[in-house]
Amino acid sequence: MRCARPFAPLALLTLQDCAGVQSAFDPSGAEAERINVLSWLLILSSVAVLVAVCLITAGALFGSERWRARISGERLVIGGGLVLPILVLSILLSYGFYLMGPGSPAGRADGRLRVEVVGERWWWRVTYVDESGRRVESANEIRLPVGRPVGVELTSADVIHSFWVPRLAGKLDMIPGRTNSLTLQATKAGISRGQCAEYCGGAHAFMSFYVIAMPEDQFAAWLEQEAGDAQIPTGADETAGQTLFLSSGCIACHSVRGTEARGTIGPDLTHVGSRHSLAAATLENDVSAFARWIRDGEHVKPENLMPPYDIFTEAELAQLSSYLDQLR
């Protein structure tokens, strides 16, 4: 008991990781729920095997002669080393085929909405394609209607990335020149965090995103708003910020619909102020975070491909940040 005491806080800390916006043990999607059940099945089976092996080892070391004779028989080797693994693995394989095969219970996308996600170094280009074929560009955040299976098409513009939202589904690679398909079906409203799960270079660890599941009516309203052009700035600071944005080279890489900014190298910023985070879930989304990102992006997210903009005065930086923040 005395030996176990120092490990108790450590165990509690470990358990803390079993919840939260990026935990596979706290599923909020149909596929993640199936993975969760399978994970617990495997964990409990492994614990049972471990306990059995410990008991057999204890029996071999400290048991009576009769016990030892029983353990050393071929029956245990054949049963535990051949029959049991074949039986258990056959059941698991059949279950895997059932989940991945044509009769799978995994939700099939109904085709009313498709989300194309392109992995870039080190951010996510997101395009919503609705049933009329309308394309709505966004970045670093995915919004989904609760309950509806949505087809997600994954590819990469440069190196191999991997798309993983543990609370919603398993991971799937994003391979240049190939499109992989995944169906996401959020079962409840809320925020989940995703992460690139394949090392893709310098800022890989900061290549994250949020998935926001919303009730169907709210999602429809949001998509309409997202499809629209950017708000025209009204305040003096915001208007000055827009002028700075359009004249300082930002538009070479970024697009803001409704303005002359039509760059396609970096993320679309039309509604950047309404997103849950900045810099692919690296910073919270507020005016000060915009300023920090523009001036000091290399410290916030080392090796990211946006050059640091230290040409602005403090006042100009505040104006530019205010303009970006009001893009909602």
Partner 1 sequence: MKEPAPQPVREPPVASAILFLLTGPILWAGHLTLVYAFQSVTCAIGAFPSAATVIPAFVALATLVAAMVLLVAIWAPGRLTRYRSERGENQTFLRAVSRLLSVLSLTGVLWTGSAAFALDACGRLR
Cβ closest to partner 1, residue 52 vs residue 82: 82
Determine, following the binding rule CB under 8 A, whether residue 175 of this chain makes contact with partner 1. yes
Contact 117, 139 (CB under 8 A): no
Q: How far is the CB of 89 from partner 1 (least distance, A)?
A: 7
Candidate list 16, 45, 57, 90; residue touching partner 1; CB under 8 A: 90
Q: Could you tell me the smallest distance in angstroms from the CB atom of residue 181 to partner 1? A: 7
From the number of C-beta atoms within 10 Å of its C-beta (0-12, 13-18, 19+), residue 211 rates as: buried
What are 159's two structure tokens?
């190196």
Determine, following the binding rule CB under 8 A, whether residue 133 of this chain makes contact with partner 1.
no
Q: Is 2 exposed, middle or buried (0-12, 13-18, 19+ CB in 10 A)?
A: exposed
- The binder of partner 1 chosen from 85, 228, 235, 249 (CB under 8 A): 85
Pair 179, 9: CB distance under 8 Å: no
Q: Which amino acid is at 19?
A: A
Cβ nearer to partner 1, comparing 51 with 88: 88
* Of positions 26, 130, 158, 173, contacts partner 1 by CB under 8 A: 173
73 lines the binding site for partner 1 (CB under 8 A): no
CA-wise closest residue to 241 among 261, 219, 216 = 261
Q: Based on the shown chain and the rule CB under 8 A, indicate whether residue 68 belongs to the binding site for partner 1.
A: no
Which of 18, 44, 88, 93 binds partner 1 (CB under 8 A)? It is 93
Buried-exposed string 279-313: b where 16+ CB fall within 10 A, e elsewhere: bbbbbebebebbbbbbbebeebbeebbbeebeebe
What is the binding site for partner 1 (CB under 8 A)?
78, 81-82, 85-86, 89-90, 93, 97, 100-102, 171-173, 175, 178, 180-182
